[in-house]
Chains A and B, each alone.
Chain A
Amino acid sequence: MAAPTAGRLAALGRRLAAPARAWLPGLTQVRWSRYDPSYLEPEVNKELYRKPLEELSEEEKMQQELKALQPIKATPSNVTSSVFSDPTISKFTNMMMKGGNKVLARSIVTQTLETIKRKQIEKYHQASEEERESIECNPYIIFHQALKNCQPIIGLCNIQKGGKTYQVPSPLKDNRKRFLAMKWLITECREHKHHRTFMHEKLSQELLQAFNNEGPVIKRKHDMHKMAEANRAYAHYRWW
Chain B
Amino acid sequence: MAAAVRRVLRASRGWSAALRAPEAPRAQTLRLICTTTAVQKRNIAASGPEKYTEAFIKNQIEEFNLGKRHLANMMGEDPETFTQEDVDKAIAYLFPSGLFEKRARPIMKHPTEIFPKQRAIQWGEDHRPFHFLFYTGKQSFYSLMHDIYGKLLDIQKYQDHLRGQGLLAENRKQINLIGSRWLIKEELEEMLVEKLSDHDYSMCIQLLERLVTLPCCGIEEEYVLKFRKELAIQLKKVVIEPLQYDDQGVAFSTGEGKRKTSRASAVVYDNGSGKITVNGVDYLCYFPVMQDREQLMFPFQFLDRLGKHDMVCTVSGGGRSSQAGAIRLASARALCSFITENEVEFMRQAGLLTADPRIRERKKPGQEGARRKFTWKKR
Contacts and interface: CB of A to CB of B under 8 A. Distances in A.
Given A11-B205, A80-B294, A103-B289, A71 B178 contact: no
A105 B76 CA distance: 66
Nearest to B232: A69
Contacts of A81: 298, 301-302, 350
A102 B319 CA distance: 14
B349 interface: yes
B301 A82 contact: yes
B371 to A, nearest CB: 8
Contacts of A8: 182, 205, 209
B234 A4 contact: no
B200 to A, nearest CB: 12
A4 B350 contact: no
B234 A68 contact: yes
Given A11-B181, A68-B233, A85-B294, A80 B351 contact: no
Interface string B188-224: 0000000000100000010001001100000000000
A3 B177 contact: yes
A27 interface: no
A15 B302 CA distance: 36
A66 B290 contact: no
B349 A43 contact: yes
B351 A77 contact: no
Contact of A7 (B177, B213, B346, B348): B177
Interface stretch (B151-159, B269-277, B355-363): B355-363
Nearest to A1: B213
Contacts of B348: 72
A20 interface: yes
Contacts, number: 105
B255 interface: no
Contacts of B231: 69-70
Q: Interface size class for chain B?
A: 35 or more
Interface string B278-318: 00000000000111001101100110000000000000000
Contact of A11 (B184, B291, B298): B184
B166 to A, nearest CB: 27
A174 interface: no
Given A8-B182, A77-B291, A71 B234 contact: yes
A65 interface: yes
A80 B298 contact: yes
Given A3-B177, A77-B295, A78-B291, A11 B182 contact: yes
A73 interface: yes
B235 interface: yes
B183 to A, nearest CB: 9
Given A4-B182, A80-B298, 17 more contacts: A1-B209, A7-B180, A11-B182, A11-B205, A42-B349, A46-B302, A49-B346, A49-B349, A68-B345, A69-B178, A70-B231, A72-B349, A75-B351, A77-B295, A77-B321, A78-B291, A106-B290
6 contacts: A3-B177, A15-B198, A42-B354, A65-B179, A69-B179, A106-B290
Which 10 A-B residue pairings sit nearest by Cβ, starting from the closest? Answer: A42-B351, A75-B351, A7-B181, A74-B356, A74-B354, A3-B177, A34-B357, A49-B346, A69-B231, A81-B302
